[in-house]
């Protein structure tokens, strides 16, 4: 069952969402060649603590860090650690925060220094796929309208859309109903209603969308080791339109 959120619940999720947005913007500025991904996790932990938010990922099914950092062939769920970021890398940052028991979840992908036009196009296509998916997240549409819009953008650009991981409802838990695939025929699944809050998150690969999990039990990498990008927003569907909760400056001020 898809739980509908009240306006006051959505406001709490917006507080969490602004913190996530501010965190991701801060981390994106920190990324530079020579740094280890662990340094980003340390910065994230401090950022969240200073704002009274809990990291949603830390301890989730035993996940050992506050954020996910996925570099190049890593698609999602990379554990920050000893990997050194290098010029030309593609770095996906995924973070969640909890405020008063309510969750927000978002991701961005940044490139490091000079990258090839193909990599820039990969990242830009993924960002655009998220945007087009979000445009479909409105009352009266059906869930798979989001899925289909994402797939059209990604495959239309010649990239792969990952099937093994999907977006999700979010609220009092990080993962709620419904799962939101990034592929499929349009006009299927539940009708979208005001009060639904969804984490929409295309994961896009340069070549084959097949993924495998590394021995750490978490890190999802492309089987062909081609590079990947990931963008995500938490959005609330309201009668007034689509409300992106994971934006703002992270300091509680509106945009």
> Which stretches of the chain bind Mg ion, using CB under 5 A?
105, 199, 201
Q: Which residue lies nearer to Mg ion by CB, 20 or 112?
A: 20
CB of 200 to Mg ion, least distance (A): 9
Q: Which residue lies nearer to Mg ion by CB, 101 or 158?
A: 101
Q: Which residue lies nearer to Mg ion by CB, 122 or 199?
A: 199
Bond prior to 113 in cis (omega within 30° of 0): no
Phi-psi region of 77 (alpha: psi -120 to 50; beta: other; left: phi over 0): left
Q: Write out the E strands in the chain.
A: 54-55, 67-71, 74-76, 90-99, 102-111, 160-161, 167-169, 176-180, 197-200, 203-205, 211-213, 220-222, 228-230, 233-238, 241-244
CB of 168 to Mg ion, least distance (A): 6
CB of 181 to Mg ion, least distance (A): 13
CB of 233 to Mg ion, least distance (A): 10
What tokens appear for 184 in the block? Answer: 């499929």
CA–CA dist 231, 31 (Å, integer): 17
CB of 77 to Mg ion, least distance (A): 10
Q: Which residue lies nearer to Mg ion by CB, 76 or 149?
A: 76
Cβ(236)–Cβ(197) under 8 Å? yes
Q: Which residue lies nearer to Mg ion by CB, 169 or 248?
A: 169
């Amino acid at each position: 069952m898809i739980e509908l959120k009240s306006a006051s619940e959505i406001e709490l999720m917006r507080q969490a969402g602004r913190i996530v947005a501010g965190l991701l913007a801060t981390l994106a500025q920190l990324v530079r060649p020579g740094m280890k991904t662990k340094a980003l996790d340390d910065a994230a932990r401090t950022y969240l603590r200073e704002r009274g938010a809990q990291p949603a990922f830390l301890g989730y099914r035993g996940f050992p860090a506050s954020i996910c950092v996925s570099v190049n062939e890593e698609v999602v769920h990379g554990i920050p650690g000893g990997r050194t970021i290098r010029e030309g890398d593609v770095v996906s940052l995924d973070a969640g925060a909890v405020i008063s028991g309510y969750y927000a979840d978002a991701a961005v992908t940044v490139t490091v220094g000079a990258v090839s036009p193909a990599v820039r196009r990969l990242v830009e296509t993924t960002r655009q796929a998220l945007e087009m998916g979000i445009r479909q997240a409105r009352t009266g549409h059906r869930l798979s309208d989001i899925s289909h819009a994402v797939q059209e953008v990604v495959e239309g650009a010649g990239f792969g859309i990952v099937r093994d991981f999907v977006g999700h409802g979010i609220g009092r838990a990080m993962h709620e109903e419904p799962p939101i695939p990034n592929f499929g025929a349009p006009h299927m699944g539940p009708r979208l209603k005001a009060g639904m809050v969804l984490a929409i998150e295309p994961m896009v690969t340069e070549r084959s969308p097949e993924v495998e999990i590394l021995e750490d039990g978490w890190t999802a990498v492309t089987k062909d080791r081609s590079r990947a990008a990931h963008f995500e927003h938490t959005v609330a569907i309201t009668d007034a339109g689509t409300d992106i909760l994971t934006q703002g400056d992270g300091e509680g001020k509106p945009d």
